[in-house]
């Protein structure tokens, strides 16, 4: 009886692998969703086309998320190192308490890149953001070429970003 139940496990594993692989392939070169979102610094609306021609690292985060706070120094450093080469980090906050909470977080951590308030439509447009931090690497043509889930080390991000800048 147990052998019959266990015989389904390899099939389920193959289906899981195909699902994961298929999702990774489908995200390989999809156009970045357009957006028009409020800046936490000044309340102005920032449109996605403002970043046309740049390599972007769009990162979804929240002020209450420890790994999100941990990655901020890495993102600040990348912005410092690569902004003059046509690169920008763009923070997309999923905080529900509003922009003033996020603005305090930005100021306290000396964040030097644009930080915008993500809407639920934005998270859905990016394929559904179900965990944070999650980041999307976008090439100069506006295509999402890579997705990062969780905290990612500086060296990995820098290597991937530089490959798109050259």
Distance CA 134, CA 9 (A): 30
Asked if residue 16 belongs to a domain, the reply is no
Q: Judging by DSSP bridges, how do beta strands 45-47 and 134-138 pair with one another?
A: unpaired
Q: Which residues of 59-71 are buried (b: 16+ CB within 10 A; e: fewer)?
A: bbbbbebeebbeb
CATH of the domain at 63: 3.40.30.10
85 φ, ψ to 5°?
A: -95, 5
- Tokens 């030097």, residue? 112
Asked if residue 20 belongs to a domain, the reply is no
Asked if residue 110 belongs to a domain, the reply is yes
Number of domains in the chain: 1
CA neighbor of 81 nearest in space, from 112, 51, 109, 50 = 112
Distance CA 74, CA 138 (A): 18
- What contacts 144, CB < 8 A, 6 or more positions away? 27, 29, 30, 31, 32, 126, 136, 137, 138
Distance CA 136, CA 88 (A): 12
- What contacts 57, CB < 8 A, 6 or more positions away? 75, 78, 87, 88, 89, 90, 135, 136, 137, 138, 157, 161
Least confident of 5-14, 28-37, 103-112, 132-141: 5-14
pLDDT tens per residue across span 88-123? 999 999 999 999 999 999 999 999 999 999 999 999
Q: Which domain does 110 fall in, by range?
A: 30-165
pLDDT tens per residue across span 136-161? 999 999 999 999 999 999 999 999 99
Look at residue 3 in the predicted model and tell me its pLDDT: 46
Asked if residue 155 belongs to a domain, the reply is yes
Asked if residue 7 belongs to a domain, the reply is no
- What pTM did the predictor assign? 0.80
Asked if residue 111 belongs to a domain, the reply is yes
Asked if residue 80 belongs to a domain, the reply is yes
Asked if residue 9 belongs to a domain, the reply is no
């Amino acid at each position: 009886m147990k052998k019959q139940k266990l015989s389904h496990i390899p099939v389920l594993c193959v289906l899981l692998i195909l699902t994961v692989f298929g999702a990774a392939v489908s995200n390989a070169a999809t156009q970045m969703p357009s957006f028009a979102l409020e800046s936490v610094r000044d309340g102005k609306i920032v449109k996605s086309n403002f970043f046309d021609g740049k390599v972007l690292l769009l990162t979804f985060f929240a002020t209450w998320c420890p790994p999100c706070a941990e990655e901020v120094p890495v993102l600040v450093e990348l912005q410092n190192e690569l902004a003059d080469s046509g690169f920008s980090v763009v923070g997309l906050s999923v905080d529900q308490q509003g922009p003033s909470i996020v603005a305090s977080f930005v100021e306290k951590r000396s964040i030097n890149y644009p930080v915008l308030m993500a809407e639920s439509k934005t998270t859905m447009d990016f394929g559904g953001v179900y965990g944070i931090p999650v980041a999307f690497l976008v090439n100069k043509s506006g295509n999402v070429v890579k997705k990062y889930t969780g905290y990612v080390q500086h060296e990995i991000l820098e290597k991937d970003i530089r490959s798109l800048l050259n």
